[in-house]
Amino acid sequence: PVSVFENPQTASINVAQRIANLIKKKQAINATAVLGLATGATPIGVYAELIRMHKEDGLSFKNVVTFNLDEYYPMQPNAVQSYVRFMNEHLFDHIDIDKNNVHVPDGTIKLEEIPAFCLAYEKKISDFGGLDIQILGIGRTGHIGFNEPGSAPNSGTRLVTLDDLTRRDAARDFGGKSFVPTKAITMGIGTIFKAREIILMAWNRKKASIIKKAVEGEISGEVPATYLQLSENVEFILDAPAASDLT
């Protein structure tokens, strides 16, 4: 299903409320809420609303475990472009989550350690009972996480090569495309699919053509987000400009 909101603010509040409801429902039965999180510009409003709910409405994150989709490779956690740093600055430093419950793919490990790290990441997610909600943005290549064109529908967490367009889009953050890492560690399409609820968000006219492909286009590895059409548990949350090419 596709839901179109007037603007990213109202859409983000709606998504934050759904996350908060899950957290509270789990608290009522002394259980853990397992969240799959994304970085980038798109989810910032959701995180801001969750912080507001923590500060003003007393929403607690003590029972929350998180797994981020991806991280550049290589990447030091304190670097300005690091997704560890992004998550701390936009969410974790402002709420009462136990930092031991936070997981972001490790951009500092040695190349030969990556396969074992990725298997352990998958195992940790399943040991916590799987992802309750996975939040996604979408890249202009149609990537979800960093699953670029050519990704297999059953792919797991792994080291990937970033598409040239993705690196161009990241160039501003790195002060030039040549400084953008060529690789990343990302959850796979298969990892994302196992989430009980998937919410893909997109704002802005710039996302309209890729959203049209993702929602209405032929299902193909050329546009990895089209695989989401095969899931019963997906919702596309859009602002009006991002939805403007849909028929």
Is residue 228 at the binding interface for ligand F6R, with CB under 6 A as the rule?
no
Q: Going by C-beta distance under 8 Å and a sequence separation of 6 or more, which residues neighbour residue 109? A: 117
The answer to whether 148 is a known catalytic residue is: yes
Site for ligand F6R in 58-117 (CB under 6 A): 69-70
Is residue 145 at the binding interface for ligand F6R, with CB under 6 A as the rule?
yes
Provide, rounded to whole angstroms, the least separation between the CB of residue 224 and ligand F6R.
10
Among residues 113, 122, 148, 197, which one is catalytic? 148
Provide, rounded to whole angstroms, the least separation between the CB of residue 21 and ligand F6R.
23
Is residue 36 at the binding interface for ligand F6R, with CB under 6 A as the rule?
no
Is residue 144 at the binding interface for ligand F6R, with CB under 6 A as the rule?
yes
What DSSP string runs through 61-102? -TTEEEEESEEEES--TTSTT-HHHHHHHHTGGGS---GGGE
Q: Name the 3-class secondary structure at 111.
A: helix
Structure-block tokens of residue 169: 């889009």
From candidates 54, 85, 90, 143, binder to ligand F6R by CB under 6 A: 143
Q: Name the 3-class secondary structure at 165.
A: helix
Is residue 151 at the binding interface for ligand F6R, with CB under 6 A as the rule?
no
Phi and psi angles of residue 101, each rounded to the nearest 5 degrees, phi first:
-90, 0
Per CB under 6 A, residues contacting ligand F6R are 38-42, 69-70, 137-139, 143-146
